[in-house]
């Protein structure tokens, strides 16, 4: 029996904790769907494009965004993430994160990794670097190190980042998904026809994969690729 192919465009930002949790849940769903060939495309989203290029202290950012006294909703969200992380095989060290980076360069790394079929590995490495290992994923040297760790050419990544390679293309892609109506992440777009948003549990993605396998795929990137 031949496999059905399903394309999933994952719109995400590296500093979004729900995106890391959602990625883990998605991977669990893929693992129990051996009858489906899942083609994954990572797509950029910036939760706050106004962050300075070199980032800013994480505590300053959080205070400016959420205030000195965190709301009950914020606290409940954080507790949920921390409680869910263990079973998902990840760790959040929110209190120890030193800097809130501008994630443009991290998205560029994922874009280049895609050309070597390493985008999924790059996203995993970047999420872990930021939330668990407390590394500045907006720093060129650190991004080069991460690239090397997943089998890319770190020196070339430094050269590309310093020359601003593909920045205009990435910004066009960012704008495209905003125009498409993506306002929050993670958003998983199945076969270009429907989406699953947020840190949904594995069964939500299991159902989505089965549903998408019965639908014809649409190329949501056709406008940008013309």
144 domain residue, yes or no:
yes
15 domain residue, yes or no:
yes
- Predicted confidence at residue 64, as pLDDT, reads 87
226 domain residue, yes or no:
no
CATH number for 145: 3.40.30.10
Burial 65-78 (b: 16+ CB within 10 A, else e): eeeeeeeeeeeeee
212 domain residue, yes or no:
yes
137 domain residue, yes or no:
yes
Global pTM reads 0.94
61 domain residue, yes or no:
yes
Q: What's the average model confidence in pLDDT over 177-196?
A: 95
DSSP state of 47: S
Using the predicted structure, report yes or no on whether residue 71 has a pLDDT greater than 90: no
213 domain residue, yes or no:
yes
- Predicted confidence at residue 224, as pLDDT, reads 56
Strand partners, 100: 56
Q: What is the pLDDT of residues 99-146, one digit of tens each?
A: 999 999 999 999 999 999 999 999 999 999 999 999 999 999 999 999
pLDDT bracket for residue 63 (50, 70, 90): confident
Strand-pair category, 36-44 with 4-12: parallel
Range of the domain at 101: 4-221
76 domain residue, yes or no:
yes
Q: What's the average model confidence in pLDDT over 89-108?
A: 97
Beta-sheet strands, E only, within the chain: 4-12, 36-44, 56-57, 99-100, 187-190, 194-197
* Count: domains in the chain: 1
């Amino acid at each position: 029996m031949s496999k059905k192919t399903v394309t999933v465009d994952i719109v995400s930002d590296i500093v979004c904790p729900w995106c890391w949790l959602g990625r883990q849940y998605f991977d669990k769903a893929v693992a129990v769907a051996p009858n489906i060939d899942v083609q994954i495309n990572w797509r950029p989203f910036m939760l706050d494009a106004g962050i300075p290029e070199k980032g800013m202290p994480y505590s300053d950012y959080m205070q400016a965004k959420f205030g000195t006294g965190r709301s009950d909703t914020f606290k409940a969200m954080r507790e949920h993430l921390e409680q869910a992380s263990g079973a998902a095989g990840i760790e959040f060290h929110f209190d120890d994160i030193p800097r809130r980076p501008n994630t443009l360069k991290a998205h560029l790394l994922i874009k280049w990794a895609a050309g070597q079929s390493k985008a999924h590995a790059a996203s995993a490495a970047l999420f872990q670097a930021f939330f668990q290992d407390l590394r500045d994923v907006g720093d060129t040297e650190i991004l080069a190190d991460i690239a090397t760790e997943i089998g890319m050419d770190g020196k070339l990544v430094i050269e590309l980042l310093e020359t601003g390679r593909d920045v205009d293309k990435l910004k066009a892609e960012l704008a495209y998904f905003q125009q498409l109506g993506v306002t929050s992440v993670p958003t998983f777009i199945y076969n270009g026809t429907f989406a699953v948003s947020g840190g949904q549990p594995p069964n939500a993605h299991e159902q989505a994969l089965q549903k998408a396998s019965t639908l014809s795929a649409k190329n949501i990137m056709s406008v940008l690729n013309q």
